[in-house]
Chain A
């Protein structure tokens, strides 16, 4: 069923896939975050090995005006290394939890990347010229003897092969006792927030030795702990507003103008639980794994284990839209608990116009929901369906009874193939889907 994402004739096609093909996947290569920059020309991925890979889109070719540019590797660098906290005898994983781009202010690009404990600001700059004709050093770098210099010359810039360099410009460390789960750049372009399980800190991008704690839900007695912070985000246009979600399925909106410490929320979003659906795992499946504001700032979307909900910021008592991602898993929660899949944290994202939302599932399936037509589609990111510009066939999971042709039964789903991270181009219908160690890029078919 086509039509999701802006029009009845919209169909999704395979564009590219990045990453190794072998079945044996190294843990370090598993992609842990995907993010487009503000223009959509750059696409960054972070992996469990602490590496960041940035893809850049080619300029549209004049020969093929209707074909969009491909994404090619632009820069690769090691952002985080494994560390050891000697005081607590804990190893700190190098896995990149989140990447967030900063708005571009000059020729260089900047992004924030974070692992469990430390946030780093990376500047990615291009160098396509080098200076030649120094007075004090030879071309190979050896220093010249000053007494031998008899004349002076002005160094000249000569063109060279493009080199993309990434350098860590700021390191924001030692501000989080618990594991960082979110970072979010503020609309003022000067500050950003970072959230761990119990606290949220506000940073200034220029200042690394100081951070303001704005939310602290740690109880005086840890034995009374009942919920943790699971995600946080700044409002896209109101620089004083941010939201954070909890493991209890609630979202709190806070206004930084109200107080220095935003422990008291301005708005509290919670949908009452349906008592008839209570189970052993009710608390787990209601835990929110991701929260994202719409581009307009009027709505926000939350993802829990089985569904995606869209909330109107003006209505706190229930979401305005609820989409079931894989309701057929509700009867499988026991096994999913046993194999730990129930703890998977799926992300969600909006398209550029806020008319559609996307989130991942198992078996390398991902789902898109059109908010206007209420149509939804399930697609698969797989090598088999990856013919160049091949149209993706909608997939269907058979929940019971007779399995139709081309349907897949719930028991045949591969729970090791999970799509947790997806991203939608800010302006076009181009999506990036991370399937374990592979990055798939799909785009709409141009008619």
Chain B
């Protein structure tokens, strides 16, 4: 168990500091120091583990399942589009199981939060509108849930893929990745549309849409009717709030630890271009924390980076 009391720094800070060190080592005299970067990657892994655990604890403490259910229903009403019948069914089924494990929360949130992304006809703009009108604080909340739950259940993908959502019951742990190998998700804060394809992340977003994302992020925190009470207890990750929703990890999370470290190792050789996603180039130096989340998300895409050593 990692002792979290030893310093004021939280996991997220450590992650951004670590990534900054790795980035800086690229330009240090004498070439990349393998030993130092290996040690930094261990800190990254430890910080990530703690962050994950804390997120889990946060989810688990959620009490307001009923509110989520209510909002779910509201959204269904707002979106009269013909969603796949099974999603609607699923939301009903899932929501009733929310009192159980956090894993079950995830599909509920998926159904509730992202009905639009399942529909190919919807443009990002329309999706934004849908989300905005829904004022779905619970959806935002649920997104948090799903991103965390997703990480631990390697077999589970978010359901919003073009194919039919093969839900027969609420036992989502048995959901095979085979059925769902492509997921599109909308980030409510930055309006970034992201597609995860077989574990590889593509940032499809339009940078323009993300510009005004900072204010909504802050605002949203207070919109969470059900969440406000919880937020004080939860470790404060808000400095990088918008990035949280973009934190999509490779579904094969049990491999994530070693793959993250190893990806970093291989990234050293590929000249660190993998650490800076397309979108975040200009923002890297401005907001290390934002980049840290982006970077962690994009690590999965670099499993085959060339080792230059």
Contact = CB atoms under 8 A, between A and B. Distances in A.
A283 B2 CA distance: 12
B31 A88 contact: yes
Interface stretch (A204-212, A218-226, A395-403): A218-226
Contact of A223 (B39, B46, B263): B263
B3 A278 contact: yes
Interface string A85-115: 1001011110100000000000000000000
B38 interface: yes
Nearest to B3: A279
B3 to A, nearest CB: 5
B36 A334 contact: no
B50 A287 contact: no
A278 B1 CA distance: 7
A343 B30 contact: no
Interface stretch (B6-14, B159-167, B214-222, B231-239): B6-14
Contact of A88 (B8, B36, B262, B308): B308
A223 B3 contact: no
Interface residues of B, number: 36
Nearest to A228: B35
B42 interface: yes
A306 to B, nearest CB: 14
Contacts of A284: 39, 42-43
A105 B117 CA distance: 80
A338 interface: yes
B132 interface: no
A41 B269 CA distance: 45
B17 interface: yes
B30 A116 contact: yes
Interface size class of A (residues with CB under 8 A): 35 or more
A247 interface: yes
Contacts of B262: 221-225
Nearest to B39: A284
B206 interface: no
A221 B261 CA distance: 12
Interface string A341-380: 0010000000000000000000000000000000000000
A337 B187 CA distance: 33
Contact of B38 (A91, A92, A247, A337): A247
Interface string B1-36: 111001111000010010001000000011101111
Given A247-B39, A337-B17, A225 B265 contact: yes
B34 A228 contact: yes
Residue of A177, A247, A331 with most chain B CB atoms under a 10 A cut-off: A247
A333 B30 contact: no
A59 B191 CA distance: 80
Interface string A207-248: 000000000000001111111101000000000000000010
B36 A343 contact: yes
A279 B2 contact: yes
Contacts of A221: 262
A333 B39 contact: no
B35 A222 contact: no
A347 B151 CA distance: 42
A283 B39 CA distance: 7
Interface in A283-331: 283-284, 287, 331
Contact of B34 (A179, A281, A333, A338): A179
A147 interface: no
B6 to A, nearest CB: 6
A177 B43 contact: no
Nearest to A275: B1
Contacts of B105: none
Contact of B6 (A85, A91, A224, A279): A279
17 contacts: A116-B31, A178-B309, A179-B30, A181-B35, A198-B34, A222-B266, A223-B265, A223-B266, A225-B262, A278-B1, A278-B2, A280-B50, A281-B46, A283-B46, A334-B14, A337-B14, A340-B21
Interface of B: 1-3, 6-9, 14, 17, 21, 29-31, 33-36, 38-39, 42-43, 46-47, 50, 258-259, 261-263, 265-266, 269, 303, 307-309
Given A91-B29, A222-B265, 14 more contacts: A91-B30, A178-B34, A197-B35, A222-B266, A223-B263, A224-B258, A224-B262, A225-B38, A225-B262, A278-B1, A280-B6, A280-B14, A283-B46, A284-B43
Interface of A: 85, 88, 90-93, 95, 116, 177-179, 181, 197-198, 221-228, 230, 247, 275, 277-284, 287, 331, 333-335, 337-338, 340, 343
